[in-house]
A and B are shown apart, each in its own frame.
Chain A
Amino acid sequence: MGNSNYLSATNQFNLYGGGAGQGYDITGSNGSIASGFYRSQIGNAAAKWESSITSNIGIDGSFFNNKLEVVVDLWQKDTKDLLYPLTLPGVVGVRSSAPYKNVASMSNKGIDILVTNRGTLSGDLTYEVTGIASFLSNKITAIDPSVPYFTAGGTRLSTNVVRNQPGYALSSFYGYKVIGLFNSKEEVAAAPTQDGAAPGRFRYADTNGDGKINDDDRQFLGNPIPKFTGSITLTLKYKGFDLNTNLYASLGNKIFNNQRWFTDFYPSFTGAAVSGRVKDSWLPTHTNTTVPIFESASNFSTNTQANSYYVENGSYARMQYLNLGYTFPAVVLNKVNLSRLRLSVSATNLFTITKYSGLDPGVGGSADQNFGIDVGNYPVQRGYNVGLSFGF
């Protein structure tokens, strides 16, 4: 949400358009159409700029002859009148695009810390280490009174998977909480009424305890905003050698692994359910699993609903790069008439530590309304480079 989005100059106007796809063969010719128009956009003349108040207290310190530098920032940014095109209710006619309206307020609070320490370990061995840590808390504080919340994101499931609602973080996931798999017909019979319930299928939490699983039982299932992001950069130098590396970590976020709809359920796309997980599917003889029964049925208790089966811990740490180089000393170079010669090897994305089961926990999305939904994004590649640089 926000000013950062392109707000069309026509946002204030009702627009009407047409095209071959809106025509109709009113004369019964079988081969030609009359042009048709429809309202392609609803205008909002009242849209205005968003505003935000940023407050910030910071300390910058440098100690022990610059061997230790510390930067600490406490900040809060309160934004109001966030611009957002609310999804139109069906009765309005959803072929019109919705206007941007100033609908929401949001609060971001955080602490950013940067610490650098440099010095000499022994003799010619010097080091520099920089740690960065950011703690973030995000919350939607208000939305237009005409809508209690708005939904977005996700693919192939019956509903959107994100619900943006005051009191919760932006892009919070919303759906049924899976409390296990049904293991027997008796268990199904004893459980709250649930459409499509059968052994091996999801059992959802009866949040409101009314003995019936329906839309009222949906709940917030986590959000994709990391509570903590940080990195450590280390540089070591010894004579002509230098080593440089960076470890990045993102902790405390969830990912909605939408890919599982394709890879874990037989009927989603017949023949496409190829994840290794399906080998661990529920069977009457194999009930100690979280992976549901592999079957042709597609219903409320299988693959159609946004639920916590898709929500995974998205925390990860990744070695972003590791470089090792050697610069030949001048005394050697002079003999071969070179002014500079350097050899280096480097690796990028050397390893990732995560429990996330998708291809890559670094999941993006459209930052203004829904993100952290993995619909099969490309993983980052591991790269190796060998370098030789020289000058005459």
Chain B
Amino acid sequence: MKTFITKGTVATAMLVMVTFACQDKFLDVPATGQLSGTQLTSKAGLDGLLIGAYAQLNARGFSQSASSFNWVRGSISGGEANKGSNSGDFNALTPYQTYQILATSGEVNAKWSAMYEGIARCNSTLRLLASAGSDVTAADKARISGEARFLRAHYYFELKRNFNMVPYVDETKDYGTGIEAVPNNADIWPNIEADFKYAVTNLPESQGAVGRANKWAANAYLAKTYLYQKKYAEAKALFDQVIASGVTSDGKKYALVANFQDNFNAAKDNSSESVFAIQAAANTGSSDNANPDLVLNFPYNTGSNGPAGCCGFFAPSFELANSFRVDANGLPLLDGSYNSAANQLKTDQGIASSAAFTPDAGPVDPRLDWSVGRRGIPYLDWQVHPGLDWIRDQTFAGPYSPIKFVFYKSQDKSLTDGSSWTDGYSAINYNIIRYADVLLMAAECEVEVGSLATALSYVNQIRSRAKGTTYVKTAAGANAANYQIGLYTAFADKAAARTAVQFERKLELSGEGHRFYDLVRWGTASTVLNAFIAYESKLLPVGYTGAKFTAGKDEYQPIPQQQIDSQGKTVLTQNPGY
């Protein structure tokens, strides 16, 4: 009886509620499994949004080619490497080595979409920061907005140098407030500069976490932005400060590390040379944190005595390997004669692994074998590179393997993520800017508006470090090749200095996604790349079929057709030539 009364009471109470107390609020049930507004605007929530913005640096989930690493556009289009593998595998990348990129390419659309996803996350952070909760201090706001704008500037920098004309949308524009109507008719360099300047002003020198951008990273990136616009004086002034006083986010004074190859070793990440990096981590529950963009770039079919075993992509070019040839003084052959019959490196092209082969005995820069994997030379701590057995299709890809972002045998499964289909998911950071890059960019500025002597000293710092690096050794402890490297004594004139600085960039930063953009900003892309094609296509005729760099067109990728189709031709104008 008592139960009956209780039920009746509840029923009556419910009836009363329904009849008299029902308001709209009654229907507002918080969405389950989602974050509420107050969670998002707390300090932890805003920091989480910022982390989400960092997470897009490697363009996870879009395409390997879309990453801020730019190994496809920066290095393959730059002639440092070819697509690799064979002609069929992921051949959507092949047009990047033949300059036959179409507006309808899914890769083009992936780069565009990945970078705007990063921007959307920065803008989300900035929008929600405006209604920050009470636990967010003024210092927090400065730091969070500084990092968000730093990242936004980075993503726009990527869009600018890949597409040139792109729509600029900031936190005031969103879905439903006209974002799709913003045209690509303005130069966005001023917007990029403004964001980096804001970051310089608002970011601290020292950050609680080493992966965060700090004031000095912003200074270096702002200087790089000036350099891309040929504003040498502004760039030099900033580089001077960065070189004199710059420190990493954990307070280490910027400096070159002792060993060149430590820049590509997960165990040596976040060194004094790391100005701003994509932080990679293995075994975190998602391989998207472990360089998903680089997962194809390992020797092919190595078995367990080689790294990952897949997929033979990103094969260094003949032309790049030859560039490491040095003269009697240990200096590079700046006249281009490194490709001559007498100087080009001896290779195992067309030679089976079972047949005898002796590597080139001539003098080479010691950075060669930390930059290019080749037959007969120890390949990290795995084994001596066996040549053809590790190459998927030599006639398409040539004889070389990538090595810079390859993990060591001793690190397999600890600094690589074994949870997925390949061990190629590694924890090696990619430095978007490393200090060697800063010195070489500063050297460019010195050549143009400063002193040749200072440029010389910067270049020689790079070369001294290369000289002092631990060379690749045979099992017996001898140098694996005839390594020779010397310092420049002087630059004869501005032109000679420019040539030397540019060539040093090629040697030091090969395979790090810079080269194509450098050639475009130097205005030498057409000459250099067509000469490259003329040489390389004789050795790899299949891969370079139809390759030709067209000045005035191929400096930039086309605006993705899908975006023009989506937003309309009145909003998005296609780039010239496409």
CB distance from A90 to the nearest CB of B (A): 4
Q: A16 on the interface (CB 8 Å rule)?
A: yes
CA A36 to CA B151, docked complex, whole Å: 15
CA A42 to CA B174, docked complex, whole Å: 10
Interface of A is mostly: loop
Q: A71 on the interface (CB 8 Å rule)?
A: no
Q: Chain A residues with Cβ under 8 A from B344's Cβ?
A: none
Q: B552 on the interface (CB 8 Å rule)?
A: no
Q: Chain A residues with Cβ under 8 A from B542's Cβ?
A: 296
CA A22 to CA B45, docked complex, whole Å: 14
CA A158 to CA B175, docked complex, whole Å: 26
Q: Chain A residues with Cβ under 8 A from B35's Cβ?
A: 15-18, 37
Q: B34 on the interface (CB 8 Å rule)?
A: yes
CB distance from A193 to the nearest CB of B (A): 12
Which of A56-64, A221-229, A264-272, A337-345 is the contact stretch? A264-272
Interface positions, chain A 34-70, Cβ under 8 Å from B, are 34-39, 42
CA A322 to CA B389, docked complex, whole Å: 59
CB distance from A363 to the nearest CB of B (A): 23
Q: Which residue of B lies closest to A33 (CB)?
A: B284
CA A34 to CA B49, docked complex, whole Å: 11
Q: Chain B residues with Cβ under 8 A from A268's Cβ?
A: 88
Say whether B279 contacts A19, CB under 8 Å. Answer: no
Say whether B48 contacts A25, CB under 8 Å. Answer: no
CA A38 to CA B116, docked complex, whole Å: 13
Given contacts A16-B35, A39-B124, contact A299 B562 (CB under 8 A): no
Q: Which residue of A lies closest to B87 (CB)?
A: A296
Say whether B124 contacts A28, CB under 8 Å. Answer: no
Say whether A30 contacts B560, CB under 8 Å. Answer: no
Say whether B117 contacts A95, CB under 8 Å. Answer: yes
Interface positions, chain B 474-489, Cβ under 8 Å from A, are none
Contact of B100 among A10, A19, A195, A269 (CB under 8 A): A195
Q: Which residue of B lies closest to A12 (CB)?
A: B31
Q: Chain B residues with Cβ under 8 A from A37's Cβ?
A: 35, 40, 45, 48-49, 51-52
Interface positions, chain B 28-62, Cβ under 8 Å from A, are 31, 33-35, 40, 45, 47-55, 60-61
CA A113 to CA B75, docked complex, whole Å: 65
CB distance from B133 to the nearest CB of A (A): 15
Q: Chain A residues with Cβ under 8 A from B512's Cβ?
A: none
Q: A123 on the interface (CB 8 Å rule)?
A: no
CA A167 to CA B511, docked complex, whole Å: 51
CB distance from A221 to the nearest CB of B (A): 16
Say whether A93 contacts B102, CB under 8 Å. Answer: no
Say whether B104 contacts A304, CB under 8 Å. Answer: yes
Say whether B288 contacts A297, CB under 8 Å. Answer: no
Q: B266 on the interface (CB 8 Å rule)?
A: yes
Which of A73-81, A145-153, A348-356 is the contact stretch? A145-153
Say whether B104 contacts A28, CB under 8 Å. Answer: no
Q: B322 on the interface (CB 8 Å rule)?
A: no
Which of B380-388, B528-536, B563-571 is the contact stretch? B563-571
CA A10 to CA B415, docked complex, whole Å: 40
Say whether A20 contacts B284, CB under 8 Å. Answer: yes
Q: A238 on the interface (CB 8 Å rule)?
A: no
Q: Which residue of B lies closest to A306 (CB)?
A: B104
CA A18 to CA B121, docked complex, whole Å: 12
Say whether B124 contacts A38, CB under 8 Å. Answer: yes
Q: Chain B residues with Cβ under 8 A from A87's Cβ?
A: 566
Q: A329 on the interface (CB 8 Å rule)?
A: no
**Contact pattern, B 391-433, Cβ under 8 Å of A = 1, otherwise 0:** 0000000000000000000000001000000000001010000
Which of B106-114, B310-318, B353-361, B448-456 is the contact stretch? B106-114
CA A88 to CA B186, docked complex, whole Å: 22
Say whether B284 contacts A23, CB under 8 Å. Answer: yes
CB distance from B192 to the nearest CB of A (A): 16
Say whether A22 contacts B561, CB under 8 Å. Answer: no
Q: Which residue of A lies closest to B266 (CB)?
A: A30
Q: Chain B residues with Cβ under 8 A from A93's Cβ?
A: 116-117, 119-121, 124
CA A271 to CA B542, docked complex, whole Å: 17
Interface of B is mostly: loop
Say whether A20 contacts B91, CB under 8 Å. Answer: no
Q: A298 on the interface (CB 8 Å rule)?
A: yes
Interface residue tally for chain B (C-beta within 8 Å): 80
Say whether A38 contacts B289, CB under 8 Å. Answer: no
Given contacts A24-B55, A28-B210, A91-B167, contact A36 B48 (CB under 8 A): yes
Q: Chain B residues with Cβ under 8 A from A267's Cβ?
A: 87-88, 91
Q: Chain B residues with Cβ under 8 A from A23's Cβ?
A: 51, 55, 284-286, 289
Say whether B283 contacts A31, CB under 8 Å. Answer: yes
Q: B369 on the interface (CB 8 Å rule)?
A: no
Say whether A92 contacts B120, CB under 8 Å. Answer: yes
Q: B269 on the interface (CB 8 Å rule)?
A: yes
CA A25 to CA B269, docked complex, whole Å: 12
Number of A-B residue pairs at CB separation under 8 A? 223
Q: B103 on the interface (CB 8 Å rule)?
A: yes
Say whether B289 contacts A30, CB under 8 Å. Answer: no
Say whether B180 contacts A26, CB under 8 Å. Answer: no
Q: Which residue of B lies closest to A41 (CB)?
A: B34
CA A105 to CA B403, docked complex, whole Å: 57
Q: A287 on the interface (CB 8 Å rule)?
A: no
CA A208 to CA B61, docked complex, whole Å: 38
Say whether B120 contacts A28, CB under 8 Å. Answer: no
Q: B169 on the interface (CB 8 Å rule)?
A: yes
Interface positions, chain A 80-101, Cβ under 8 Å from B, are 87-96
Say whether A26 contacts B211, CB under 8 Å. Answer: yes
Given contacts A28-B210, A31-B284, A304-B104, contact A215 B561 (CB under 8 A): yes
Contact of A90 among B52, B175, B560 (CB under 8 A): B560
Contact of B106 among A13, A158, A269 (CB under 8 A): A158
CB distance from A89 to the nearest CB of B (A): 5
CA A18 to CA B48, docked complex, whole Å: 9
CA A47 to CA B112, docked complex, whole Å: 29
Interface positions, chain A 297-322, Cβ under 8 Å from B, are 297-300, 304-305
Given contacts A24-B51, A42-B175, A94-B117, contact A271 B109 (CB under 8 A): no
Q: B15 on the interface (CB 8 Å rule)?
A: no
Say whether A31 contacts B282, CB under 8 Å. Answer: yes
Say whether B289 contacts A89, CB under 8 Å. Answer: no
Q: Chain A residues with Cβ under 8 A from B560's Cβ?
A: 90
Say whether B286 contacts A299, CB under 8 Å. Answer: no
Contact of A215 among B89, B112, B564, B566 (CB under 8 A): B564
CB distance from B191 to the nearest CB of A (A): 14
Given contacts A30-B266, A35-B48, A36-B52, contact A94 B113 (CB under 8 A): yes
Contact of B286 among A17, A20, A88, A160 (CB under 8 A): A20
Q: Chain A residues with Cβ under 8 A from B266's Cβ?
A: 30
CA A91 to CA B279, docked complex, whole Å: 25
CB distance from A179 to the nearest CB of B (A): 19
Say whether A195 contacts B88, CB under 8 Å. Answer: no
Q: Chain A residues with Cβ under 8 A from B498's Cβ?
A: none
Q: Which residue of A lies closest to B86 (CB)?
A: A270
CB distance from A196 to the nearest CB of B (A): 7
Q: Which residue of B lies closest to A305 (CB)?
A: B104
CA A298 to CA B31, docked complex, whole Å: 47
Interface positions, chain B 548-578, Cβ under 8 Å from A, are 560-568
**Contact pattern, A 124-158, Cβ under 8 Å of B = 1, otherwise 0:** 00000000000000000000001111110000001
Given contacts A35-B48, A87-B566, A271-B88, contact A24 B279 (CB under 8 A): yes
Say whether A29 contacts B51, CB under 8 Å. Answer: no
CB distance from B55 to the nearest CB of A (A): 4
CB distance from B332 to the nearest CB of A (A): 34
Say whether B105 contacts A10, CB under 8 Å. Answer: no
CB distance from B283 to the nearest CB of A (A): 6
Pairs A–B under 8 Å by Cβ, sample size 8: A21-B286, A25-B211, A25-B427, A36-B48, A36-B53, A91-B116, A149-B565, A266-B88
Given contacts A39-B124, A96-B120, A296-B545, 13 further A-B contacts (CB under 8 A): A10-B34, A16-B40, A26-B209, A26-B279, A27-B209, A36-B51, A37-B45, A159-B561, A160-B562, A195-B102, A296-B88, A300-B104, A304-B102
Nearest 8 Cβ contacts at the A-B interface? A93-B120, A270-B88, A20-B285, A158-B104, A36-B51, A25-B281, A36-B52, A20-B286
